[in-house]
Structures are given as structure tokens and as C-alpha cells.
Amino acid sequence: VLSGCGVYDGTEIHEASAILVHLSRGGAEVQMYAPDVPQMHVIDHSKGQPAEAESRNVLVESARIARGKIASLAKLTTADHDAVIFPGGFGAAKNLSTFAVDGKDCKVNREVERVLRDFHKAGKPIGLCCISPVLAAKVLSGAEVTVGHEDEEGGKWPYAGTAGAIKELGGKHCVKEAHVDTKNKVVTTPAFMCETALHHIFDGIGAMVKNVLKLTGK
């Protein structure tokens, strides 16, 4: 499930690509979805600032990553899939929810909430990375997730405060490089929540994908 195209206002592209590579290596068939809604705003990634005069659609932008093969999130059903995975990027906190603005009082996109609840109820695994575990913490009360460490450690974990927000949302935060909540079948990894080499992020995402596939029992 994508949230746009670009780390500051949509899906983190390296995370989406890593997930797709690991899914391919694991032999999975993949269908990509995104909500058909306007983005919260558009960020000029060369400046890190909002582009005031622009507006973009989350589904249209996500189609860039999906190479055009994408459907509206409203069409995603548990009957058609064994698992669901959410990459990170600020789009998860801006377009899939209002977490970037409202923190613990955030609202989650109606279709995103439906998908999370439906897969949870069906006992099918849910994978999330980077900031997207906040979605599970908000919707699935008591879910165990990780966004990495709870202290910045000299800038290595610049978004460490998110761990506290997860607790306020009703989730349980685990200080790990990857975590499997076997009860809720929720698998999470920090990805770009950590300032580290790209291959470490790629490997962490690989562990998440591997565990999601394992939980499908296929």
C-alpha cells in the first residue's frame, strides 16, 4: 500500500523498492494499491519546502513507483491476498493518516483503517516499516511494533520520539531492529528511522518481508 511518491510527502521510494525486491526473491505475487485522495501537500524535495501552488493525487503519484500497475485502495480485499505491507515515508503520516499534524490524536484514512482491521480479523500478516507502524498502533490496540530506538543516540535515531507516540496511541513499542508480534501477526522494522547505510536498511526490510511471508504459511 503506497502513499505517494517521495519521502517528504509520500512513499519512501528506496523502502518501496526494497520491499518489492525481497517479495520478488521470496516468490510472491504483488499488487499495489493507494488511496485515491489528494495529498496533504506537495514538498519540493530539492529544497525540503512545501510547493504552495501545487496539489497532487496520492494514487496518481504512487503509480510512478508501481510503473502504472496500481489500483485504488478501496478495491483491496483480504479474500484476494495473503498479506499486506505498508512502506514508510512521510506519506504514511500525512496521506494515510494525520499523524504528522495530530500525533496521538491522529485520524487514519478510512480505507487504510478498513484494510488493517480486515487483515487482522482474517489472521493475515501485516508488514510495516519506518513511520508506518504508527498506523497499526492507532488501529490495532495493543499491537507490538518497533520504530527502532527510544533515544536519539547522538542523531543516529532522529525520530526516536515516535516510540513515545506509539505508546500514547495504545501500542507497545519494542526496541529492536525488526519485531514480529506473533499474536497480532504484525511485523515491523525501522528502515529510515535510523541514520545508517542503505544496505542495512535493505537488509532490515528483508527480515520484515521474510517474516511476513513466513506468517502466511505458504
User: Which residue in 5, 130, 174, 194 is the catalytic one?
Assistant: 130
> Are 110 and 144 spatial neighbours (Cβ–Cβ below 8 Å)?
no
| 106 classed as catalytic | no
- Which residues, 6 or more positions from 110, have their beta carbon under 8 angstroms from its beta carbon? none
Beta strands 144-145 and 49-50, pairing class: unpaired
> Are 133 and 85 spatial neighbours (Cβ–Cβ below 8 Å)?
no
- Positions annotated as catalytic residues are 130
